[in-house]
Amino acid sequence: MSTARQALAGLGEAAAARYLERTGCAIIARNYRCPYGEIDVIGRDGETLVFVEVRTRSSDRFGTPEESITSSKARRMTRCALAYLTAHAAACAQWRIDLIAIVVAQGRITRLEHYKHVLQ
């Protein structure tokens, strides 16, 4: 990933974590890696574990952040969530997978949308 893309992704993930904290979600981990891929943010919303995919775009040239979730990416996200639950003995915990879509223009966040329960 290029340095510019990494910076954009980092900006989006930091903004998503701040947003989640402001809404009462406790951040447990960021950039959790497993054999199936990576989960951008893991949080706890009350009794529910929340696995969050953050998609940040600086233009809609290649589609919106929401449109960037392919079926392959969705499968990897689910496998990562299940791997985390297994590794942390939380298989019985309530959980969900969310998407936070962010648009950045001129270094500023112009849109942040939180979609709950996008997969499961």
pLDDT in tens, 41-96: 999 999 999 999 999 888 777 778 888 888 888 899 999 999 999 998 776 679 99
* Mean pLDDT computed over every residue of the chain: 89
**CATH number where 27 lies:** 3.40.1350.10
Range of the domain at 115: 3-119
Domain count, the chain: 1
103-110 long-range contacts, CB within 8 A, separation 24+ = 103/56, 103/57, 103/58, 103/60, 103/64, 103/65, 104/8, 104/11, 104/12, 104/56, 104/57, 104/58, 105/58, 107/11, 109/11, 109/12, 109/15
Rounded to two decimals, the pTM is 0.90
